[in-house]
Amino acid sequence: MNKDQVKGGLEKAKGSVKQTVGEVTGNERLQAEGAADKTAGAVQKKVGDVKEAAKTLTKKP
């Protein structure tokens, strides 16, 4: 697991919390920020996944 995977997961979780709080309070701006954070976290995690896969593929046996 690399730092992009970890940070992406944390960002995605933070976004979920923000979005839920925004929904509960009726704060559309917070909902939108949460959705954006979730998306950014998912993208960062995917980047980490790709890096990890590339590292695995380039390892010499």
Provide the whole-model pTM: 0.85
| Per-residue confidence (pLDDT) for residue 40, from 0 to 100 | 98
Q: What is the mean pLDDT of residues 16-36?
A: 98
| Per-residue confidence (pLDDT) for residue 34, from 0 to 100 | 98
Q: What is the mean pLDDT of residues 28-33?
A: 98
Whole-angstrom CA distances from 19 to 39, 41, 53 are 12, 13, 31
pLDDT-derived band at 28 (thresholds 50, 70, 90) equals very high
Alpha-helix residue ranges (DSSP H) falling in the chain: 3-25, 28-58
| Per-residue confidence (pLDDT) for residue 16, from 0 to 100 | 98
How far apart are alpha carbons 12 and 20 in whole angstroms?
12
* Backbone angles phi and psi of 3, in degrees to 5: -65, -30
| Per-residue confidence (pLDDT) for residue 59, from 0 to 100 | 83
